[in-house]
Chain A
């Protein structure tokens, strides 16, 4: 008995449900376009999300050009600047990050990692993608309607969001709201699938406490999304009625150009509550899958089991729960009862506890590990550093008294870009470098990958560290230009120019990454099966890339957790989850034999 793994168990209960029949596509269209295979749907989701994300990336360049070199570019005026800022935020948070983590990684990894043939309802899963695509199309259409897309800011606060002084208050805002409503409907269809697949369709031996943390992160994030998106849905429906029917849910009595409008008696604060009841869990909808994925990347590439697995799971669950009781920390300056401010500041700071547990455990996973500095590992380490940076400024902003002077300054912009922009995107990159061989059978080009990593990592700091400083100087966010003023020293303008150049360089590196992704499909080095020598089930399929139905004739049986790396006495430094204790190859080397 060489197997010293603490979680392995030779006994596996019999199957509780029969193997399900699969939908077999009959034509090219049902196989590749209207596909019911979660892996194809995942690729469709990811490509759409990356495509629209590229639009948002270009928008950020325009924004930076204006901020760095005001009055140098005639094609950006103040109205367009607001439209750019709005669409950049909305696309990045919802249409890119949410869709990529849950629709992309969720669809690809959940069935494979829990040992299922597919999602539980592949037909509904397919509808989910097509409705998401429709939402993206509606969003894109808003660029081309008269008046352009909405310029209300990504939070769409009323009353300004629907007043005529705001750019895009014609059809722009209507299309934005319609697109959000569609997105939520589409996401719900997919989200139900992800949750039920994790709960009810695991393979034999795959208890919840043996699931890879990637699945835990995606699972809990999906539950958050299913409970948080309803608030945005309701807010969007109400604002739509305010805009189209002239109801006054969010609209107080208001004067516009000296004339009293029809509105009266509504509560703009109500929208802020609905929006942030969605908006704060949204942060964790993006962060939790990143937490989960990064845990797996660190463990696999450090050849060491994750430190404190159960604590990691509980931290994810607790963060998910707490994320529903902190939303009003986004509204300190909207005016609220001081006791509420106290309550929300307290709950906000409590989140630091489970989050810190996770960070310690990541670091302790690395400690004395056999660290392989592969690209996924580089991105994972970069994530830890970036997340700690962004998290610490979050502790500043969680306090009412510190938040009030810093509200609506560049400090806030720097904070949330670090913590929910750069950090999760670093994980996305790491995850793509990690799972690309599984999906395509080829490795991404390593030289381009290193170029991409170093530029992105260092460049992000060049962008966002100076931005904190701008915030401390009081430079406000969302301003088209600072103009002629004595308040800000010349260094503010210089820093802005520096940030812009850094942002353009980082943006260029992303184009290299996109090129690498497309180029490597055909010209990448062929990957052997399980190139990272990982333990989880997605790498144990009979063929790689996995085919329709994932696991060939028989579903795998799971005997252990996903983190049996460097088990003393075992011949290999990893034991896949589907290897029974009695079948583990024993090491001949007396050095590593069990005592």
Chain B
């Protein structure tokens, strides 16, 4: 009965049906071969976090569609007066550029991490963290400007009060993610710099000795936060 699943050389090993898919997933000891525990855990956490952001965004779409008051015009609300011109979405374009760039430096950090190049890994992790901090800083500036314009969680001068509430809640939740990411990046950068992963000192968030895998795991989180931003950007600024 279950023999075809357990046996190492089943007769039907060549079939490419869903059975072989199940056989791979159910295989001995590890479902995902050569995937460290931390990385598997981060992937599953991100899946869960996807549901959180998904619920936030669906909630936002739902209130935006059900409200009877007009929705403020994104290209006016988020415009920035620079050099005497109102430039729509300029700040957000820079923010997005910074955050996407940080994904690039993060990817490079992972590569140097696996090469055990401590100097370059630390440098790139710190650059990524600086990009992230810059993003949060610009977001704080954007919030300040909107608050000065009279946007509050419970109302704003242009229309549906849900504009302010969803905006502050969702960008705030995302900004918190970025801030936590920056802190994690700096902690990992310090550990890499000190050589913890060569000397067998305690890793991050574990009482075991750490390894360079944590750079990639942190990177997964960072790329996820960037990806979420793409959706927030599309739904808040382009819709």
Q: Tell me the A residues contacting B by CB distance below 8 Å.
A: 6-7, 9, 11-13, 15-17, 20-21, 23, 36, 120-124, 188, 191-193, 195-196, 199-210, 226-231, 233-235, 237-238, 241, 245-249, 262, 264-267, 270, 274, 277, 309-310, 561
Query: Which of the residues A208, A249, A266, A309 comes within 8 Å of B26, measured between beta carbons?
Result: A208
Q: Are A196 and B29 in contact (CB under 8 A)?
A: no
Indicate if B69 sits at the interface (CB-CB under 8 A): yes
Which residues does chain A contribute within 8 Å of B67, judged by CB atoms? 265
Q: Are B6 and A200 in contact (CB under 8 A)?
A: no
Bound Cα distance A7, B164 (Å): 60
Enumerate 20 A-B pairs (CB-CB under 8 Å) in ascending A order: A23-B208, A121-B38, A122-B207, A192-B48, A196-B37, A196-B41, A196-B44, A199-B30, A201-B30, A202-B30, A209-B5, A210-B2, A227-B51, A230-B49, A231-B51, A247-B154, A267-B66, A309-B2, A310-B1, A310-B2
CB closest residue in chain A, given B164: A247
Bound Cα distance A274, B62 (Å): 11
B207 CB, min distance to chain A CBs, angstroms: 4
Query: Which of the residues A16, A203, A245, A246 comes within 8 Å of B33, measured between beta carbons?
Result: A16
Tell whether A248 pairs with B2 under 8 Å between CB atoms, given A196-B40, A200-B30: no
Bound Cα distance A23, B40 (Å): 21
A355 CB, min distance to chain B CBs, angstroms: 22
Tell whether A6 pairs with B52 under 8 Å between CB atoms, given A200-B35, A247-B165: no
Q: Are B63 and A265 in contact (CB under 8 A)?
A: yes
Bound Cα distance A234, B57 (Å): 10
CB closest residue in chain B, given A15: B29
Give 18 new A-B contacts, CB below 8 A, not counting A265-B162, A270-B62: A21-B208, A23-B208, A121-B37, A121-B205, A121-B206, A122-B207, A123-B207, A124-B205, A196-B41, A203-B29, A204-B28, A205-B28, A209-B5, A210-B6, A227-B48, A238-B59, A248-B165, A267-B63
Bound Cα distance A264, B69 (Å): 10
Which residues does chain B contribute within 8 Å of A235, judged by CB atoms? 55
Query: For window 21-35 of chain B, which residues contact chain A by CB distance below 8 Å?
Result: 25-33, 35
Indicate if B169 sits at the interface (CB-CB under 8 A): yes
Query: Which of the residues B27, B55, B161 comes within 8 Å of A247, measured between beta carbons?
Result: B161
Q: Are B52 and A230 in contact (CB under 8 A)?
A: yes
Indicate if B56 sits at the interface (CB-CB under 8 A): yes
Bound Cα distance A309, B6 (Å): 14
Most chain B CB inside 10 Å of its own CB: which residue of A235, A248, A310:
A248
Tell whether A202 pairs with B28 under 8 Å between CB atoms, given A188-B45, A234-B56: yes
Which residues does chain B contribute within 8 Å of A16, judged by CB atoms? 28-30, 33
Which residues does chain B contribute within 8 Å of A188, judged by CB atoms? 45, 48
Which residues does chain B contribute within 8 Å of A11, judged by CB atoms? 8
Q: Are A234 and B208 in contact (CB under 8 A)?
A: no
Most chain B CB inside 10 Å of its own CB: which residue of A15, A120, A310:
A120
Query: Which of the residues A7, A228, A231 comes within 8 Å of B1, measured between beta carbons?
Result: A7
Query: For window 136-174 of chain B, which residues contact chain A by CB distance below 8 Å?
Result: 153-154, 160-162, 164-166, 169, 173
Which residues does chain A contribute within 8 Å of B29, judged by CB atoms? 13, 15-17, 202-204, 206
Indicate if B227 sits at the interface (CB-CB under 8 A): no
CB closest residue in chain B, given A244: B153
Most chain A CB inside 10 Å of its own CB: which residue of B3, B6, B67, B166:
B6
Bound Cα distance A191, B45 (Å): 9
Bound Cα distance A227, B33 (Å): 24
Query: Which of the residues A123, A199, A237 comes within 8 Å of B205, measured between beta carbons?
Result: A123
Q: Are A248 and B5 in contact (CB under 8 A)?
A: no
